[in-house]
Amino acid sequence: MNWIFFALAGSIAQLVDGSLGMGFGLTSSTLLLTLGASAAVASAAVHAAEIGTTLASGASHWHRENIDRDILKRIAIPGGIGAILGATFLSNIDLSGGKIFISTLLLLLGLVLLYRNIFVPTTANIAEITNPKYLTFLGATGGFVDAAGGGGWGPIVTPTLLATTQTEPRKVIGTVSAAEFVVAICASLGFLLNINRLDIDWSAVGGLALGGILMAPIAAKLVSWMPRRQLGIVVAVAIILLNAVRLLGF
């Protein structure tokens, strides 16, 4: 495999992920699966690459003040634990069938977000969830699905935070991107514990990581410029399109 091709794919995936808070794992995993990799190998390669891309993305968002530190702490740790469990599970069982349910759920959530950002006035109150265990559960669920499904941290955590909190979209995106660094490390650790079952293409890992790292500062700068309502609409449309494509592929 040509690592330059993967670098280009990684830069495009990171531009989407860093500016919308989702898409790197789904985009990269889809590419690797199309080229014939198994679900476990694709997820392992993507998460190894994400260690570099999420570090660069998180640092860029931190520099742009796009991060809510309280939310970061409350989703990153349970997200990491969920990722280890998801990686271990995927190394033994293929979860491709479960993606239908997940993609359908995310598609519906994307439609709700699109409606909210187009038709609901900006002055309307959001039904914010204040249960202290809520973010812990969200982080753990996002981490597990991300590692087990080859992607999903951003598409699950980003729209959920947008729909259930009053946090600015740019800070939701920056926080989710920064927390993904912990998720990527933990998922990679989970796959390493099962490395005897996997045959990873390290040229793909290196190419995806290089392209993503180079694109991360540009994506972080882009998200800090976009207005709240317009950014919410872009995120919603991205959720709908990504999951519609996945559903049509089944």
Question: Per residue in 96-108, pLDDT tens?
Answer: 555 566 667 668 7
Provide the number of structural domains found in the chain: 1
Residue 157 and residue 202: Cα distance in Å, rounded?
28
Looking at residue 79, its pLDDT comes to 96
Residue 13 and residue 21: Cα distance in Å, rounded?
11
Enclosing domain of residue 183: 3-248
Q: Which of 42-51, 127-136, 241-250 has the highest mean pLDDT?
A: 42-51
Q: Which of 10-19, 65-74, 88-97, 234-243 has the highest mean pLDDT?
A: 65-74
CB atoms within 10 A of CB 7: 20
Distances (CA, A) of 151 to 62, 123, 209, 225: 23, 34, 15, 26
Q: Kindly tell me if the per-residue pLDDT of 18 is higher than 60.
A: yes
Q: Kindly tell me if the per-residue pLDDT of 43 is higher than 70.
A: yes
Predicted TM-score (pTM) of the model is 0.75
For residue 33, give both structure tokens. Answer: 């699966």
- Look up residue 174 and give its amino acid: G
- Which of the four pLDDT bands, split at 50, 70 and 90, describes residue 222? confident
Q: Kindly tell me if the per-residue pLDDT of 1 is higher than 60.
A: no
For the stretch 133-166, pLDDT in tens is: 899 999 999 999 888 877 778 888 988 888 888 8
Residue 221 and residue 203: Cα distance in Å, rounded?
28
Please name the helix (run of DSSP H) or strand (run of DSSP E) that holds residue 166, with its range, or none: none
Looking at residue 176, its pLDDT comes to 92
